[in-house]
Amino acid sequence: MTPLFKKLNFKQQAEICILQHPLEFQNELYAMKEFTDVKTDLDEYISKGPGFILTFLKSRKEIDRLVPVIDSNLKGDSIIWFALWFRKKTI
């Protein structure tokens, strides 16, 4: 498991869902594929027990839109992380 996912409280879930990740996060996904099944589409993710979802967001509107959808896909004491991600603008 990667140090980042250890800090995010990954507990050997059979599968995890990472939504809207930036390109810079791709290496983390590849590394985690050694430990779990990684889904990047909520439609493909079906939690069989307590789940794990990390979603990258750019606005509060995205949180409001995704929370009901995510909630309907989780069971038990699931772990949900929302990461606000803003692309740096160049001058």
Task: For 7-24, write each residue's pLDDT tens digit.
Answer: 999 998 888 999 999 998
Mean pLDDT score of the chain? 86
* Residue 31: predicted pLDDT: 96
Tell me if 41 is assigned to some domain. yes
Query: Which residue range forms the structural domain that includes residue 46?
Result: 3-84
Tell me if 90 is assigned to some domain. no
Question: How does DSSP classify residue 44?
Answer: G
Residues 73-89, mean pLDDT to the nearest whole number: 78
Q: pLDDT digits over 40-68, tens only?
A: 988 887 666 668 999 999 888 888 888 88
pTM score, whole prediction:
0.83
Q: Can you name the residues that pair with 68 across neighbouring β-strands?
A: none
